[in-house]
Amino acid sequence: MFRRGRSRSDLDRHRRQTYTRLVLGGFAILVLVGGGVVWLLYGRTAALTTVACLLMAASLFGLLWLILSLIELWVRDDGP
């Protein structure tokens, strides 16, 4: 099931790092490509507004992730 020499925690850490990199990379592509297209079509002011809205949405998702991570740590410490 698992490769030799790799423990379960190493694979979990790798999975978390991969998911984090994918989310951050996807968001960076969304901001750069999306902001660039809006800039080309509508101008600088619209592009800045678009990037500001995307950053606010990302901050809400980040806050939700932080809250859920803290709850996970809290519950894990209370386990048997």
Establish if 3 belongs to a structural domain.
no
Range of the domain at 59: 8-78
Establish if 48 belongs to a structural domain.
yes
What is the reported pLDDT for 4? 63
Per the listing, tokens 């507004």 go with 49
CA angle 26, 44, 62 (to 5 degrees): 35
Establish if 2 belongs to a structural domain.
no
Total domains in the chain come to 1
pTM over 0.75: no
Per-residue buried b or exposed e for 32-57, using 16+ beta carbons within 10 Å of the residue's own CB = eeebeebbeeeeeeebeebbeeeeee
The helix/strand/coil state of 15 is helix
The helix/strand/coil state of 54 is helix
Establish if 31 belongs to a structural domain.
yes
For 22-56, the pLDDT digits (tens) are 989 999 999 999 999 999 999 999 999 999 999 89
Establish if 12 belongs to a structural domain.
yes
